[in-house]
C-alpha cells in the first residue's frame, strides 16, 4: 500500500515533467528549425501550422487532464452510511455491497471513497476514473497519444536535418538508438542531440500505450462494461451500443472532441434528484 501511495504522487509529477520537456523542445527547438528563408516562405509556413497543431493537441490533453482531476467521482459512501468499521471492511475485501449501492460501485483504498461505475484508479492523475470523468479521461488519452506522435514526427525531422540522417529505411529508427549511444560515448554526438533521441523513444512508447489504452477503453464502453466489472466477472445488462456511448460522452460529444468540457452529470445524481 505504501508503494501504491508513493506511485500515486510520483506518477503525476512524472507526467507533468514529460509535458514540460515536450513543450520546451517543440516551441524552442523543433518549430524554430522549420523556418526557412522569409523570401521563399509561403503564406502559411510549416512552422506555424505545426505550432498551431501542437498547441491544439497540448491544450486538449492538459485541459482534459485537469478536468479528470477536478471532476472527481462522487463519494457514494456518504449516502450509503459506510462510516462503520465492519461495513467499510466489507467494501475493502469485496465480500458484499450494501443493498442501496448501484451496480459497479467500488471502494478505492487510495482515494478512500466509493465511486459509481468504478473503472480503475489512474496513477498518472492520482484519481479514480468513474462515471463523472470517464469522457475526459478518454479524451486525455486520445490527445496525449496524438501529441506524443506529433512530437515524434517533429523530432525525427529535427534529427534528420541536424545529423543528416534518412529515415526512408524502416529499420533506420530501430537502429538509431544503439548507433547513437556508440557515437555519444565516442564524442561524435552532443548531449542535447542524444537527449532528443531518447525523447523520441519515450514519445513513441507513451503514444502507443495511450492509443492502445484508449482503444481498449472504447471497446469496453461499447459493450457497456468497466474494467472493474470485467476483472470481477460481473454480468451487465445488454444495451445498444449507441446508448452506452451516449451515457459516457453525452449529447455534446462533438464539442468534447474539440475543446475540453465537463462531463455530463452521473446517473446516480439524476436518480437522487428524481
Which residues are the active-site residues? Answer: 122
Please give the Cα distance from 171 to 78 (Å, whole number).
Answer: 57
Nearest residue to 66 (alpha-carbon basis) of 14, 7, 125: 125
On whether the CB atoms of residues 141 and 217 are closer than 8 A, the answer is yes
Which residue bears the cell 445524481?
269
C-alpha cell, 52: 498551431
Distance, in Å, from the CA atom of 252 to the CA atom of 163, rounded to the nearest integer, reads 47
CB crowding 224-244: b at 16 or more within 10 Å, else e: bbbebbeeeeeeeeeeeeeeb
Ranges of beta strands (E only) in the chain are 106-108, 113-115, 120-122, 127-129
Distances (CA, A) of 6 to 9, 10, 40, 111, 265: 5, 6, 53, 13, 31
Amino acid at each position: 500500500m505504501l508503494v501504491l501511495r508513493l506511485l500515486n504522487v510520483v506518477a503525476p509529477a512524472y507526467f507533468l515533467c514529460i509535458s514540460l520537456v515536450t513543450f520546451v523542445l517543440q516551441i524552442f527547438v523543433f518549430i524554430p528549425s522549420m523556418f526557412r528563408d522569409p523570401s521563399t516562405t509561403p503564406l502559411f509556413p510549416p512552422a506555424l501550422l505545426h505550432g498551431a497543431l501542437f498547441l491544439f493537441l497540448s491544450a486538449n490533453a492538459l485541459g482534459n487532464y485537469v478536468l479528470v482531476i477536478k471532476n472527481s467521482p462522487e463519494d457514494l459512501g456518504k449516502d450509503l452510511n459506510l462510516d462503520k468499521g465492519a461495513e467499510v471492511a466489507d467494501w475493502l475485501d469485496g465480500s458484499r455491497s450494501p443493498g442501496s449501492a448501484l451496480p459497479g460501485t467500488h471502494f478505492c483504498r487510495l482515494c478512500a471513497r466509493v465511486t459509481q461505475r468504478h473503472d480503475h484508479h489512474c496513477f498518472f492523475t492520482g484519481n479514480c476514473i468513474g462515471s463523472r470523468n470517464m469522457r475526459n479521461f478518454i479524451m486525455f488519452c486520445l490527445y496525449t497519444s496524438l501529441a506524443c506522435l506529433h512530437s515524434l514526427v517533429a523530432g525525427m525531422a529535427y534529427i534528420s536535418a541536424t545529423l543528416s540522417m534518412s529515415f526512408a529505411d524502416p529499420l533506420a529508427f530501430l537502429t538509431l538508438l544503439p548507433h547513437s549511444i556508440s557515437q555519444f560515448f565516442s564524442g561524435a554526438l552532443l548531449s542535447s542531440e542524444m537527449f532528443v533521441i531518447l525523447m523520441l523513444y519515450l514519445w513513441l512508447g507513451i503514444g502507443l500505450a495511450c492509443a492502445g489504452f484508449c482503444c481498449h477503453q472504447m471497446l469496453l464502453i461499447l459493450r457497456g462494461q468497466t474494467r472493474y466489472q470485467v476483472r470481477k466477472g460481473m454480468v451487465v445488462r445488454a444495451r445498444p451500443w449507441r446508448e452506452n456511448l451516449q451515457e459516457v460522452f453525452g449529447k455534446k460529444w462533438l464539442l468534447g472532441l474539440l475543446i475540453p468540457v465537463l462531463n455530463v452529470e452521473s446517473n446516480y445524481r439524476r436518480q437522487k434528484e428524481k
